[in-house]
Chains A and B, each alone.
Chain A
């Protein structure tokens, strides 16, 4: 058998073709793998970019003020009733700003700098303090420690999000001498050589643009902005503090890439913030106010509480309508409906409704619930109704699948022992299909929780400062809050938005987790 005729498939041409075909096969497989890789990469990029933003909003900086609650400022005669104190935002603001002015006495007299120093503190941030003092008037006149969030731009600066910044520890400075008022000369052998080469390196990179960059030199509570330097001496404008702080110190130099004119924070404000930090008055704490505050026009004061409550109220309305109606409708279609034209129309209808764009449901809500029935705008009641209609098809389809998976033997057994059709369905089929139906209901609710567009159309995008207490109050919802914060211009809103997204995703993950658990626990094969 050794000298069999060569098979026609084994000649050189065929082998070559085979090689080509196998290569094509490998390519095809590779396309498939890269498609999946692309999808997974997109998903990870999405999650990473949101998480990294949200991380930065997980903590924020607060400033500690040790002040005496001077009655003359916060509760002047005639305005000393608790209700007045609670409303006296200006008084509390002045109290804290004066404390800052005392901390940085060299500011006094300079109006621009006074205003900039006052900006370290947002006016409205004192409102909770005013309310707590008003609730406890014996504190007036006493010494008290007050903690208030730092201005959002400086908070971003401390988190390193304002501008790229090169930091360098300088060599030992022998002494700093104030040559003219506000001008300080530092001297030290070869102390500034490293900084010089850093600047030279940056100059090579960006050219003369480097001259617009601020170089801040900090030792202890004192910070200056470099004017000129050589290897052994450095001349700078003192922004805050005193020249003596630089004696025998190793100052830290910061080269801020973004010129002062292009940032929201000035060099002075950075210097004061660094000084406050050096005094231990600024601390970075978990950002719980994101969960306990309502919306605000100031990022450092804003929170998602009203939106979370609004979303919960909306979901309650949705659940109360969509789940029972969905279950009953699916029971009818699966168990009772006669096979006729009307049933067929209902079925096609439901399948089609499941694919209607969500914004069309918003139009329906605007025209029918707001326009025709005259229900209140921006209310969770209307939002819940619209979302209920939106999720109904999803829930019906899922429940029908669950009912379909119940074997006919169960129905037959119930009917066999004399149960009526209704009894067999409600006493036997429904309980068995329960977990499946419940899973579908949760999935439908999860979809409803993430819906934004229909809520925009029924006005749930309004700025809501109070936590809604009932389904007819003005309210907003979590995804809508994401939308409205994402469209704010200020940079500080970006991490805040990402944090709200994380809260929203947590809710969704929990709901889907329940679904997975139920499926594992109750999955039955017949």
Chain B
């Protein structure tokens, strides 16, 4: 009997239960309120019947929901720890990872309706697992019902003509809205906490300074964790990207806001934004398919010309099939709209009176732009460049596909370099266990990435905000 309970489809059951509780509470509350509001004129009723219904529904639904969520998060863990506590002594001495694997297989066998094998210990444990599961499930449902009933009766007693049901309901909704807004904070806290927690575990094994300033990176074999080559590669590729994106984006923004007519603007601006809408994996494919081979061909040609001219004896450039230049170039193209769009906004925000004053002094358009508009828009432009840099540093797919895997410090842009993001992907794809320094190092890299981009973003946001206030 209890074993049968172990097979209960809890997800659907709890959902149905919650829906029933909510609608039931609503009707009871509403009907009760209608009774006194229907009696004409005798009493002054504060809230309409529906709000009484919502009020009762709210108090029935929320306690049950809390229980359901608690079950969803903890239920499996409780069953497992109960079972683990009951296992014979020789299981207790097993390493925790092995025990987990064993319990996984028990759970799988239990849910597939029976284990047909001959291992009697295994099948006994599987049965016991189902029993415990059934007990936990039954008690979860019972608890949900009891808490809902408590809420229901408490709320029902309050329903009265003078009861301010609407205000209470609205208060509840406002709290719910606040919780939704709080998810953003919870996300940040989650990011910081998980990165910090795993990174601290990593730094308890690898000294912090060795990680930050070591020059040899060989994490796949859990041997060397000097991240300097990764920082170098990230910096190098972001630099190449910004060498493309900064001038192109800036000049495009200047042209669009100062020179172009409304028709050109109406067409070119959305097309530039398309560049920002293309998934980065598509850029990565483009880099791998078109740009990297082209750069390699050019590098080989340069090598040949230099060698045949007798200037160098050895090939000067590395001419790798994937290269920092290819990744940086394509990333630069991707980042153009981030520079141009924000710069365009801030240039447009410069008051026309400043321009008119410059023209009145006889300045040409380019002089006005250079000496009046750009200085006035400078903080905003710097902010847009910072945001673009942060975007370039955190970009993943282009570098994963076109930058390479080799951690080294080389000034040659045609050599393959690796970046923080490439290594995070390389370390965390495939089977991951959360105990080896190899996996943990990915979180340490993630922490560095988060801190760097946070730094750039905060400065940029601060600058943008300050600047907006100035001309509003």
Contact = CB atoms under 8 A, between A and B. Distances in A.
Residue with the highest number of chain A CB atoms closer than 10 Å, among B187, B446, B453, B454: B187
B336 A39 contact: yes
B299 interface: no
A29 B252 CA distance: 10
B184 A453 contact: no
Contact of A32 (B254, B278, B283): B254
B451 to A, nearest CB: 10
Interface string B150-191: 000000000000000011001001101110111111011011
Nearest to B282: A501
Given A45-B290, A358-B396, A420-B166, 4 more contacts: A29-B366, A33-B255, A450-B277, A480-B281
Contacts of B279: 449-452, 479, 482, 504, 508
A393 interface: yes
B174 A336 contact: yes
B251 A486 contact: no
Nearest to B249: A35
Contacts of B280: 450, 452-453
Interface residues of B, number: 91
Given A39-B272, A360-B191, A368-B190, A32 B251 contact: yes
Nearest to A43: B275
A469 B336 CA distance: 40
Given A50-B285, A421-B170, A350 B425 contact: no
B282 A36 contact: no
A28 B259 CA distance: 10
A333 interface: yes
B366 A364 contact: no
A457 B442 CA distance: 10
B424 interface: yes
B284 A486 contact: yes
Interface stretch (A128-136, A203-211, A287-295, A341-349): A341-349
Nearest to B456: A355
Interface in A328-368: 328-329, 331-333, 336-337, 345-346, 348-353, 355-364, 366-368
Interface string B446-472: 100110011001101100000000000
A345 B185 CA distance: 8
B236 interface: no
Interface string B187-212: 11011001101100000000000000
B194 to A, nearest CB: 4
A416 B396 CA distance: 53
A38 to B, nearest CB: 6
Interface of B: 73, 76-77, 166-167, 170, 173-174, 176-178, 180-185, 187-188, 190-191, 194-195, 197-198, 247-252, 254-256, 258-259, 268, 271-272, 274-275, 277-286, 288-290, 333, 336, 340, 364-367, 369-370, 387, 390-391, 393-397, 400-401, 421, 424-425, 428-429, 432, 434, 442-443, 446, 449-450, 453-454, 457-458, 460-461
A49 B450 CA distance: 34
Which one of B183, B184, B271, B458 has the greatest number of beta carbons of chain A within 10 Å?
B184
A373 to B, nearest CB: 7
Contacts of B387: 355
B195 A328 contact: no
A293 B27 CA distance: 50
A36 B256 contact: yes
Q: Which 3 A-B pairs have the closest CB atoms?
A: A357-B394, A32-B255, A450-B279
B21 to A, nearest CB: 20
Contact of B248 (A22, A39, A46): A39
A100 interface: no
Interface in A17-57: 21-22, 24-25, 27-29, 31-36, 38-40, 42-43, 45-46, 49-50, 53
Nearest to A453: B396
Nearest to A390: B187
A27 B366 CA distance: 9
Contacts of B390: 355, 357
Contacts of B166: 420
B184 A367 contact: no
Contact of B194 (A40, A328, A367): A367
- Between B258, B281, B460, the greatest number of chain A beta carbons within 10 A of the residue's beta carbon is seen for B281
B183 A356 contact: no
B432 A28 contact: no
On chain A, which size bracket covers the interface?
A: 35 or more
Nearest to B275: A43
A359 B198 contact: no
B252 A36 contact: yes
B284 A483 contact: yes
B248 A29 contact: no
A421 B289 CA distance: 57
A261 B248 CA distance: 46
B38 to A, nearest CB: 22
Contacts of A352: 188, 454, 457-458, 461
A39 to B, nearest CB: 5
A396 B187 CA distance: 14
A150 interface: no
Nearest to B247: A35
B281 A482 contact: yes
Contacts of B272: 36, 39
A362 B390 CA distance: 17
Given A333-B181, A352-B457, A452-B279, A392 B187 contact: yes
B180 A328 contact: yes
A325 interface: yes
